Amino acid sequence: MNVRDRLDGGRAVVAARDADETPDTTEIRRLAEAAGYDVVGEVTQRRTEDLRYNLGGGKARELADVVAERDADAVVFDGELSPGQYTDLLDLFPAGTTLTDRYRLVLEIFADGAGSTAATTQVDLATLRYELPRVRRATEESLLNAATEKGSPVLDMEKRIDAMEAKLDELTDAAADRRARRRAEGFDLVALAGYTNAGKSTLLRRLADDFDAESSLDDASGDDGRNDDHTESITVEDRLFETLETTTRRATLDGRRVLLTDTVGLVADLPHDLVRSFSATLDEIGAAAAVLAVVDASADEERLRRRVETTVEVLAADATGPVVPVVNKVDRLDAAGREAALGVVADVLAEAGVETREPVAISALDGIGVDGLRDAVVGALPGSTATFELPPSGESRAFVSWLHERGDADVTYGPESIEISFAGKPSVVDEAERWAADLRSDGREG
Ligand SMILES: Nc1nc2c(ncn2[C@@H]2O[C@H](COP(=O)(O)OP(=O)(O)OP(=O)(O)O)[C@@H](O)[C@H]2O)c(=O)[nH]1
Ligand SMILES: [Mg+2]
Protein backbone atom coordinates (compact mmCIF):
# COMPACT_ATOMS: atom_id res chain seq x y z
CA MET A 1 0.00 0.00 0.00
CA ASN A 2 1.46 3.26 -1.03
CA VAL A 3 0.51 6.79 -0.15
CA ARG A 4 0.81 7.76 -3.76
CA ASP A 5 -1.88 5.30 -4.85
CA ARG A 6 -4.33 7.77 -3.42
CA LEU A 7 -2.80 10.80 -5.11
CA ASP A 8 -4.90 12.58 -7.62
CA GLY A 9 -3.16 15.23 -9.64
CA GLY A 10 -6.13 15.58 -11.98
CA ARG A 11 -6.35 15.28 -15.76
CA ALA A 12 -3.23 16.30 -17.64
CA VAL A 13 -2.18 16.96 -21.22
CA VAL A 14 1.52 16.31 -21.86
CA ALA A 15 3.46 18.53 -24.25
CA ALA A 16 6.91 17.94 -25.71
CA ARG A 17 9.20 19.58 -28.25
CA ASP A 18 12.46 18.40 -29.77
CA ALA A 19 14.61 20.14 -32.36
CA ASP A 20 15.78 16.96 -34.09
CA GLU A 21 13.01 14.43 -33.99
CA THR A 22 9.38 13.87 -33.14
CA PRO A 23 9.41 13.71 -29.34
CA ASP A 24 8.85 10.38 -27.63
CA THR A 25 6.46 10.99 -24.74
CA THR A 26 6.70 7.56 -23.07
CA GLU A 27 8.85 8.72 -20.17
CA ILE A 28 7.11 12.02 -19.47
CA ARG A 29 3.75 10.20 -19.46
CA ARG A 30 5.09 7.71 -16.94
CA LEU A 31 6.53 10.50 -14.81
CA ALA A 32 3.17 12.28 -14.93
CA GLU A 33 1.44 9.09 -13.81
CA ALA A 34 3.94 8.65 -10.98
CA ALA A 35 3.01 12.16 -9.83
CA GLY A 36 -0.66 11.12 -9.77
CA TYR A 37 -1.90 12.65 -13.04
CA ASP A 38 -4.28 10.96 -15.40
CA VAL A 39 -2.86 11.66 -18.87
CA VAL A 40 -5.73 12.56 -21.22
CA GLY A 41 -3.90 13.92 -24.24
CA GLU A 42 -0.63 15.01 -25.78
CA VAL A 43 0.74 17.67 -28.11
CA THR A 44 4.20 17.30 -29.61
CA GLN A 45 6.28 19.37 -31.98
CA ARG A 46 9.54 19.01 -33.86
CA ARG A 47 11.13 22.45 -34.12
CA THR A 48 13.71 24.70 -32.52
CA GLU A 49 12.86 26.51 -29.30
CA ASP A 50 10.52 29.46 -29.53
CA LEU A 51 11.64 32.11 -27.07
CA ARG A 52 8.16 33.14 -26.08
CA TYR A 53 6.37 29.80 -25.55
CA ASN A 54 9.09 27.18 -26.05
CA LEU A 55 6.65 25.52 -28.49
CA GLY A 56 5.86 27.54 -31.61
CA GLY A 57 3.05 30.10 -31.15
CA GLY A 58 0.56 28.11 -33.26
CA LYS A 59 1.39 24.89 -31.42
CA ALA A 60 1.01 26.63 -28.06
CA ARG A 61 -2.52 27.74 -29.01
CA GLU A 62 -3.30 24.22 -30.25
CA LEU A 63 -2.19 22.97 -26.82
CA ALA A 64 -4.56 25.42 -25.14
CA ASP A 65 -7.40 24.09 -27.35
CA VAL A 66 -6.63 20.49 -26.41
CA VAL A 67 -6.66 21.45 -22.72
CA ALA A 68 -10.12 22.98 -23.15
CA GLU A 69 -11.47 20.10 -25.27
CA ARG A 70 -10.28 17.37 -22.90
CA ASP A 71 -11.33 19.34 -19.86
CA ALA A 72 -7.81 19.00 -18.46
CA ASP A 73 -6.67 20.46 -15.14
CA ALA A 74 -2.97 20.55 -15.92
CA VAL A 75 -0.31 20.71 -18.61
CA VAL A 76 2.87 18.71 -18.11
CA PHE A 77 5.70 20.01 -20.27
CA ASP A 78 8.65 17.74 -21.06
CA GLY A 79 11.60 20.06 -20.61
CA GLU A 80 12.53 23.08 -18.59
CA LEU A 81 10.55 26.27 -19.15
CA SER A 82 12.10 29.65 -18.60
CA PRO A 83 10.18 31.86 -16.16
CA GLY A 84 8.90 33.93 -19.10
CA GLN A 85 7.76 30.89 -21.09
CA TYR A 86 6.02 29.62 -18.01
CA THR A 87 3.88 32.74 -17.56
CA ASP A 88 3.23 33.27 -21.26
CA LEU A 89 2.05 29.67 -21.75
CA LEU A 90 -0.10 29.81 -18.66
CA ASP A 91 -1.80 32.94 -20.01
CA LEU A 92 -2.98 30.98 -23.06
CA PHE A 93 -4.64 28.19 -21.09
CA PRO A 94 -8.17 28.21 -19.64
CA ALA A 95 -8.30 29.86 -16.22
CA GLY A 96 -7.31 27.54 -13.38
CA THR A 97 -5.07 25.28 -15.49
CA THR A 98 -1.77 24.45 -13.82
CA LEU A 99 1.54 24.08 -15.64
CA THR A 100 4.36 21.79 -14.61
CA ASP A 101 7.67 21.19 -16.37
CA ARG A 102 9.86 18.10 -16.11
CA TYR A 103 11.80 19.51 -13.20
CA ARG A 104 8.79 20.55 -11.14
CA LEU A 105 7.13 17.23 -11.93
CA VAL A 106 9.98 15.31 -10.35
CA LEU A 107 9.86 17.68 -7.37
CA GLU A 108 6.12 17.00 -7.05
CA ILE A 109 6.69 13.25 -7.00
CA PHE A 110 9.29 13.62 -4.28
CA ALA A 111 7.32 16.14 -2.28
CA ASP A 112 4.34 13.77 -2.24
CA GLY A 113 6.32 10.70 -1.31
CA ALA A 114 9.18 11.84 0.91
CA GLY A 115 8.76 10.70 4.49
CA SER A 116 11.87 11.23 6.59
CA THR A 117 13.20 14.60 7.61
CA ALA A 118 16.26 14.17 5.43
CA ALA A 119 14.21 13.38 2.34
CA THR A 120 11.73 16.19 2.96
CA THR A 121 14.53 18.67 3.51
CA GLN A 122 16.21 17.58 0.31
CA VAL A 123 13.03 18.14 -1.69
CA ASP A 124 12.36 21.51 -0.07
CA LEU A 125 15.90 22.59 -0.76
CA ALA A 126 15.72 21.51 -4.41
CA THR A 127 12.40 23.36 -4.78
CA LEU A 128 13.79 26.55 -3.27
CA ARG A 129 16.92 26.38 -5.41
CA TYR A 130 14.67 26.03 -8.45
CA GLU A 131 12.37 28.87 -7.51
CA LEU A 132 15.06 31.33 -6.36
CA PRO A 133 16.20 32.61 -9.78
CA ARG A 134 12.57 32.86 -10.86
CA VAL A 135 11.51 34.82 -7.82
CA ARG A 136 14.65 36.94 -8.14
CA ARG A 137 13.72 37.78 -11.72
CA ALA A 138 10.12 38.57 -10.88
CA THR A 139 11.25 40.76 -7.99
CA GLU A 140 13.75 42.62 -10.13
CA GLU A 141 11.09 43.31 -12.72
CA SER A 142 8.44 44.55 -10.37
CA LEU A 143 10.57 46.29 -7.77
CA LEU A 144 13.43 47.62 -9.81
CA ASN A 145 14.39 50.18 -7.25
CA ALA A 146 12.56 49.10 -4.13
CA ALA A 147 15.23 46.81 -2.76
CA THR A 148 13.86 46.78 0.74
CA GLU A 149 15.54 44.38 3.11
CA LYS A 150 12.38 43.99 5.06
CA GLY A 151 10.15 41.28 3.68
CA SER A 152 12.13 40.75 0.50
CA PRO A 153 11.09 37.33 -0.84
CA VAL A 154 14.55 36.77 -2.29
CA LEU A 155 16.36 37.40 1.00
CA ASP A 156 13.84 35.25 2.76
CA MET A 157 14.43 32.38 0.36
CA GLU A 158 18.18 32.73 0.64
CA LYS A 159 17.90 32.48 4.42
CA ARG A 160 15.73 29.39 4.20
CA ILE A 161 18.17 27.79 1.76
CA ASP A 162 21.05 28.41 4.19
CA ALA A 163 19.08 26.99 7.10
CA MET A 164 18.17 23.88 5.12
CA GLU A 165 21.71 23.33 3.97
CA ALA A 166 22.85 23.46 7.60
CA LYS A 167 20.15 21.01 8.65
CA LEU A 168 21.06 18.61 5.84
CA ASP A 169 24.72 18.81 6.83
CA GLU A 170 23.78 17.65 10.32
CA LEU A 171 21.71 14.77 9.01
CA THR A 172 24.49 13.87 6.60
CA ASP A 173 27.02 13.77 9.47
CA ALA A 174 24.72 11.42 11.39
CA ALA A 175 24.49 9.11 8.37
CA ALA A 176 28.28 9.17 7.97
CA ASP A 177 28.72 8.24 11.66
CA ARG A 178 26.31 5.36 11.18
CA ARG A 179 28.30 4.12 8.19
CA ALA A 180 31.59 4.37 10.09
CA ARG A 181 30.11 2.29 12.91
CA ARG A 182 28.94 -0.39 10.51
CA ARG A 183 32.31 -0.54 8.81
CA ALA A 184 33.99 -0.98 12.18
CA GLU A 185 31.65 -3.90 12.85
CA GLY A 186 33.13 -5.59 9.77
CA PHE A 187 30.47 -4.80 7.18
CA ASP A 188 31.32 -3.86 3.63
CA LEU A 189 29.02 -1.21 2.25
CA VAL A 190 27.60 -1.93 -1.20
CA ALA A 191 25.29 0.51 -3.01
CA LEU A 192 22.68 -0.28 -5.67
CA ALA A 193 22.42 2.59 -8.11
CA GLY A 194 20.82 3.17 -11.49
CA TYR A 195 18.02 4.60 -13.57
CA THR A 196 14.54 4.63 -12.08
CA ASN A 197 12.61 1.37 -12.66
CA ALA A 198 15.79 -0.60 -13.46
CA GLY A 199 15.00 -3.17 -10.75
CA LYS A 200 17.23 -1.98 -7.87
CA SER A 201 14.69 -2.68 -5.14
CA THR A 202 13.82 -6.07 -6.63
CA LEU A 203 17.52 -6.95 -6.54
CA LEU A 204 17.84 -5.73 -2.95
CA ARG A 205 14.98 -8.01 -1.93
CA ARG A 206 16.65 -10.93 -3.67
CA LEU A 207 20.08 -10.38 -2.12
CA ALA A 208 19.05 -9.30 1.39
CA ASP A 209 19.15 -11.85 4.20
CA ASP A 210 15.77 -10.71 5.30
CA PHE A 211 13.69 -7.78 4.25
CA ASP A 212 11.05 -7.40 6.90
CA ALA A 213 10.76 -4.44 9.21
CA GLU A 214 12.90 -6.06 11.92
CA SER A 215 16.04 -6.18 9.88
CA SER A 216 15.80 -2.61 8.67
CA LEU A 217 18.98 -0.81 9.55
CA ASP A 218 17.81 2.68 8.89
CA ASP A 219 17.13 3.54 12.47
CA ALA A 220 14.51 6.23 12.52
CA SER A 221 16.44 7.87 15.36
CA GLY A 222 19.00 8.84 12.75
CA ASP A 223 16.34 11.04 11.25
CA ASP A 224 14.07 12.58 13.80
CA GLY A 225 12.84 9.70 15.91
CA ARG A 226 9.53 9.73 14.12
CA ASN A 227 8.00 6.40 13.33
CA ASP A 228 8.79 6.23 9.69
CA ASP A 229 7.08 3.75 7.38
CA HIS A 230 9.37 4.44 4.50
CA THR A 231 12.27 2.59 6.04
CA GLU A 232 10.25 -0.48 6.88
CA SER A 233 9.40 -1.94 3.53
CA ILE A 234 11.14 -2.22 0.22
CA THR A 235 8.46 -1.69 -2.34
CA VAL A 236 8.70 -2.79 -5.93
CA GLU A 237 6.35 -1.32 -8.47
CA ASP A 238 6.30 -0.76 -12.20
CA ARG A 239 6.22 2.96 -11.65
CA LEU A 240 8.93 5.61 -11.93
CA PHE A 241 10.41 6.81 -8.65
CA GLU A 242 8.87 4.10 -6.54
CA THR A 243 11.80 4.36 -4.13
CA LEU A 244 12.22 7.86 -2.72
CA GLU A 245 14.68 7.24 0.09
CA THR A 246 17.76 5.16 0.64
CA THR A 247 17.18 1.88 2.51
CA THR A 248 19.81 -0.47 3.90
CA ARG A 249 19.63 -4.23 4.52
CA ARG A 250 22.07 -6.91 5.62
CA ALA A 251 23.19 -9.48 3.09
CA THR A 252 25.60 -12.38 3.24
CA LEU A 253 27.40 -12.96 -0.04
CA ASP A 254 29.46 -16.14 -0.02
CA GLY A 255 29.90 -15.72 3.73
CA ARG A 256 30.95 -12.10 3.41
CA ARG A 257 28.79 -9.74 5.45
CA VAL A 258 27.73 -6.68 3.54
CA LEU A 259 25.25 -3.89 3.95
CA LEU A 260 23.33 -3.25 0.77
CA THR A 261 21.85 0.18 0.22
CA ASP A 262 19.06 0.75 -2.26
CA THR A 263 19.16 4.31 -3.58
CA VAL A 264 16.81 6.71 -5.31
CA GLY A 265 16.65 6.20 -9.07
CA LEU A 266 18.07 8.56 -11.63
CA VAL A 267 16.28 10.12 -14.58
CA ALA A 268 17.64 11.88 -17.66
CA ASP A 269 17.49 15.61 -18.39
CA LEU A 270 17.32 17.03 -14.93
CA PRO A 271 19.45 19.98 -13.92
CA HIS A 272 22.49 18.82 -12.04
CA ASP A 273 21.62 20.60 -8.81
CA LEU A 274 18.45 18.56 -8.47
CA VAL A 275 20.47 15.38 -8.56
CA ARG A 276 22.91 16.98 -6.12
CA SER A 277 20.06 17.82 -3.78
CA PHE A 278 19.42 14.13 -3.29
CA SER A 279 22.71 13.97 -1.50
CA ALA A 280 21.84 10.86 0.52
CA THR A 281 21.99 8.81 -2.68
CA LEU A 282 25.29 10.34 -3.70
CA ASP A 283 26.75 9.92 -0.21
CA GLU A 284 25.87 6.24 -0.23
CA ILE A 285 27.45 5.83 -3.65
CA GLY A 286 30.57 7.69 -2.51
CA ALA A 287 30.92 5.65 0.69
CA ALA A 288 30.37 2.25 -0.90
CA ALA A 289 33.17 -0.29 -1.16
CA ALA A 290 31.48 -1.40 -4.39
CA VAL A 291 28.60 -0.05 -6.48
CA LEU A 292 26.16 -2.19 -8.45
CA ALA A 293 25.03 -0.15 -11.45
CA VAL A 294 21.68 -1.71 -12.33
CA VAL A 295 20.23 -1.25 -15.84
CA ASP A 296 17.01 -2.49 -17.43
CA ALA A 297 18.27 -4.52 -20.39
CA SER A 298 14.79 -4.92 -21.85
CA ALA A 299 14.63 -1.27 -22.95
CA ASP A 300 15.24 -0.57 -26.64
CA GLU A 301 18.78 0.28 -27.61
CA GLU A 302 18.39 4.04 -27.65
CA ARG A 303 16.75 4.19 -24.22
CA LEU A 304 19.24 1.72 -22.79
CA ARG A 305 22.09 3.87 -24.06
CA ARG A 306 20.61 7.05 -22.60
CA ARG A 307 19.93 5.47 -19.23
CA VAL A 308 23.40 3.96 -18.94
CA GLU A 309 24.83 7.38 -19.86
CA THR A 310 22.78 9.09 -17.15
CA THR A 311 23.89 6.50 -14.59
CA VAL A 312 27.52 6.70 -15.61
CA GLU A 313 27.57 10.50 -15.31
CA VAL A 314 26.59 10.25 -11.67
CA LEU A 315 28.85 7.32 -10.89
CA ALA A 316 31.87 8.88 -12.56
CA ALA A 317 31.49 11.90 -10.29
CA ASP A 318 30.75 10.07 -7.04
CA ALA A 319 31.76 6.42 -6.93
CA THR A 320 35.13 5.70 -5.40
CA GLY A 321 34.79 1.91 -5.15
CA PRO A 322 34.69 -0.52 -8.09
CA VAL A 323 31.53 -0.45 -10.23
CA VAL A 324 29.87 -3.73 -11.23
CA PRO A 325 27.42 -3.17 -14.13
CA VAL A 326 24.32 -5.32 -13.60
CA VAL A 327 22.33 -5.96 -16.77
CA ASN A 328 18.90 -6.79 -15.33
CA LYS A 329 15.59 -8.17 -16.67
CA VAL A 330 17.29 -10.59 -19.06
CA ASP A 331 14.32 -12.95 -18.55
CA ARG A 332 12.63 -10.73 -21.13
CA LEU A 333 15.36 -11.30 -23.72
CA ASP A 334 16.58 -14.17 -25.86
CA ALA A 335 20.27 -15.03 -26.10
CA ALA A 336 20.86 -12.56 -28.94
CA GLY A 337 19.05 -9.79 -27.06
CA ARG A 338 21.22 -10.39 -23.99
CA GLU A 339 24.40 -10.21 -26.02
CA ALA A 340 23.20 -7.00 -27.67
CA ALA A 341 22.33 -5.41 -24.31
CA LEU A 342 25.67 -6.42 -22.78
CA GLY A 343 27.35 -4.92 -25.84
CA VAL A 344 25.52 -1.59 -25.52
CA VAL A 345 26.37 -1.35 -21.82
CA ALA A 346 30.04 -2.20 -22.41
CA ASP A 347 30.14 0.36 -25.26
CA VAL A 348 28.72 3.23 -23.26
CA LEU A 349 31.03 2.48 -20.33
CA ALA A 350 34.06 2.38 -22.60
CA GLU A 351 33.05 5.64 -24.32
CA ALA A 352 32.64 7.30 -20.94
CA GLY A 353 36.06 6.07 -19.88
CA VAL A 354 34.77 4.65 -16.59
CA GLU A 355 36.60 1.70 -15.26
CA THR A 356 34.22 -1.05 -14.30
CA ARG A 357 34.16 -4.78 -13.76
CA GLU A 358 32.76 -7.15 -16.36
CA PRO A 359 28.96 -6.58 -16.78
CA VAL A 360 26.85 -9.36 -15.23
CA ALA A 361 23.53 -10.39 -16.83
CA ILE A 362 20.78 -11.27 -14.34
CA SER A 363 17.08 -11.40 -13.69
CA ALA A 364 16.39 -10.00 -10.25
CA LEU A 365 12.82 -11.22 -10.68
CA ASP A 366 13.44 -14.92 -11.26
CA GLY A 367 17.01 -15.23 -10.01
CA ILE A 368 18.88 -16.01 -13.26
CA GLY A 369 22.56 -15.12 -12.91
CA VAL A 370 22.26 -13.93 -9.30
CA ASP A 371 24.82 -16.46 -7.98
CA GLY A 372 27.29 -15.17 -10.54
CA LEU A 373 26.53 -11.65 -9.38
CA ARG A 374 27.24 -12.58 -5.74
CA ASP A 375 30.64 -13.91 -6.80
CA ALA A 376 31.31 -10.77 -8.84
CA VAL A 377 30.48 -8.52 -5.90
CA VAL A 378 32.64 -10.46 -3.47
CA GLY A 379 35.42 -10.42 -6.07
CA ALA A 380 35.13 -6.64 -6.32
CA LEU A 381 35.36 -6.09 -2.55
CA PRO A 382 38.71 -5.60 -0.95
CA GLY A 383 39.38 -8.81 0.94
CA SER A 384 41.98 -10.96 2.57
CA THR A 385 42.27 -14.39 4.12
CA ALA A 386 44.05 -15.95 7.07
CA THR A 387 44.27 -19.32 8.81
CA PHE A 388 44.47 -19.87 12.57
CA GLU A 389 45.25 -22.82 14.78
CA LEU A 390 44.15 -22.26 18.37
CA PRO A 391 43.93 -24.15 21.65
CA PRO A 392 40.36 -25.42 22.34
CA SER A 393 39.38 -22.94 25.05
CA GLY A 394 36.32 -20.85 25.85
CA GLU A 395 38.22 -17.80 24.61
CA SER A 396 38.86 -19.50 21.29
CA ARG A 397 35.20 -20.33 20.90
CA ALA A 398 34.34 -16.70 21.57
CA PHE A 399 36.88 -15.78 18.89
CA VAL A 400 35.20 -18.20 16.45
CA SER A 401 31.77 -16.67 16.97
CA TRP A 402 33.27 -13.22 16.55
CA LEU A 403 34.72 -14.38 13.19
CA HIS A 404 31.42 -15.90 12.08
CA GLU A 405 29.79 -12.54 12.56
CA ARG A 406 32.39 -10.70 10.52
CA GLY A 407 33.19 -12.85 7.54
CA ASP A 408 33.43 -16.33 6.14
CA ALA A 409 34.91 -18.72 8.73
CA ASP A 410 35.53 -22.37 8.01
CA VAL A 411 36.16 -24.18 11.32
CA THR A 412 37.45 -27.70 12.11
CA TYR A 413 37.35 -28.80 15.76
CA GLY A 414 40.11 -31.33 16.62
CA PRO A 415 40.84 -32.86 20.05
CA GLU A 416 43.98 -30.72 20.49
CA SER A 417 43.18 -27.63 18.48
CA ILE A 418 40.69 -25.59 16.50
CA GLU A 419 41.62 -24.91 12.88
CA ILE A 420 40.05 -21.96 11.15
CA SER A 421 40.32 -20.49 7.70
CA PHE A 422 38.82 -17.06 7.41
CA ALA A 423 38.04 -14.59 4.62
CA GLY A 424 36.85 -11.05 5.25
CA LYS A 425 37.67 -7.38 5.15
CA PRO A 426 41.38 -6.60 5.51
CA SER A 427 40.76 -4.59 8.71
CA VAL A 428 38.87 -7.51 10.27
CA VAL A 429 41.60 -9.97 9.27
CA ASP A 430 44.22 -7.69 10.89
CA GLU A 431 42.25 -7.48 14.10
CA ALA A 432 41.67 -11.26 14.07
CA GLU A 433 45.39 -11.88 13.68
CA ARG A 434 46.18 -9.73 16.71
CA TRP A 435 43.54 -11.47 18.81
CA ALA A 436 44.69 -14.93 17.68
CA ALA A 437 48.29 -14.08 18.65
CA ASP A 438 47.07 -13.20 22.17
CA LEU A 439 45.08 -16.43 22.38
CA ARG A 440 48.09 -18.49 21.38
CA SER A 441 50.37 -16.87 23.94
CA ASP A 442 47.67 -17.26 26.65
CA GLY A 443 47.40 -20.93 25.65
CA ARG A 444 51.16 -21.45 26.09
CA GLU A 445 51.26 -19.71 29.45
CA GLY A 446 48.28 -21.65 30.80
N1 LIG B 1 10.79 -9.02 -16.10
C2 LIG B 1 11.48 -8.50 -15.09
N3 LIG B 1 10.96 -7.48 -14.39
C4 LIG B 1 11.69 -6.98 -13.38
C5 LIG B 1 12.98 -7.49 -13.03
N6 LIG B 1 13.45 -6.76 -11.99
C7 LIG B 1 12.51 -5.85 -11.70
N8 LIG B 1 11.44 -5.97 -12.52
C9 LIG B 1 10.20 -5.17 -12.53
O10 LIG B 1 10.54 -3.83 -12.86
C11 LIG B 1 9.71 -2.91 -12.13
C12 LIG B 1 10.57 -1.96 -11.34
O13 LIG B 1 11.28 -2.68 -10.34
P14 LIG B 1 11.85 -1.96 -9.04
O15 LIG B 1 12.67 -2.97 -8.31
O16 LIG B 1 10.77 -1.25 -8.31
O17 LIG B 1 12.82 -0.91 -9.73
P18 LIG B 1 13.69 0.25 -9.04
O19 LIG B 1 14.97 0.34 -9.80
O20 LIG B 1 13.77 0.02 -7.59
O21 LIG B 1 12.78 1.51 -9.39
P22 LIG B 1 12.64 2.94 -8.61
O23 LIG B 1 12.57 2.66 -7.15
O24 LIG B 1 11.39 3.48 -9.17
O25 LIG B 1 13.84 3.73 -9.00
C26 LIG B 1 8.81 -3.79 -11.25
O27 LIG B 1 7.59 -3.96 -11.92
C28 LIG B 1 9.58 -5.09 -11.15
O29 LIG B 1 8.75 -6.21 -10.92
C30 LIG B 1 13.49 -8.58 -13.78
O31 LIG B 1 14.58 -9.11 -13.57
N32 LIG B 1 12.69 -9.04 -14.80
MG1 LIG C 1 13.15 1.09 -6.02
pLDDT digits (tens, 9 = 90+) for 312-365: 888 888 887 889 999 999 999 999 999 999 999 999 988 887 778 899 999 999
Contact 311 CB / ligand 1 (< 6 Å): no
Cα(223) to centroid of ligand 2, in Å? 20
Contact 113 CB / ligand 1 (< 6 Å): no
Cβ atoms < 10 Å from Cβ of 396: 23
Model confidence pLDDT, tens digit, residues 390-433? 998 889 999 999 998 887 788 999 888 999 988 887 888 889 99
| Closest CA to ligand 1's atom 16 | 236
Model confidence pLDDT, tens digit, residues 277-322? 666 778 888 888 899 999 999 999 999 999 999 998 888 888 878 8
Output the DSSP codes for 159-207.
Answer: HHHHHHHHHHHHHHHHHHHHHHHHHHTTPEEEEEEEBTTSSHHHHHHHH
Over 23-79, what HEC string results?
Answer: CCCHHHHHHHHHCCEEEEEEEEEECCCECCCECCHHHHHHHHHHHHHCCCCEEEEEC
> What domains lie within the chain, and their CATH numbers?
3-110 (3.40.50.11060), 182-380 (3.40.50.300), 384-445 (3.30.70)
Q: What pLDDT is stored for residue 419 in this prediction?
A: 93
Length of the chain: 446
Which DSSP category does 230 fall into?
G
Cα(91) to centroid of ligand 1, in Å? 40
pTM, full prediction: 0.80
Cα(234) to centroid of ligand 2, in Å? 7
Element (H, E) at 262: strand 256-262
| Closest to 250 (Cα-Cα) out of 201, 204, 313 | 204
Cα(236) to centroid of ligand 2, in Å? 6
Give the position, in ligand 1's atom list, of the atom nearest the Cα of 243.
23
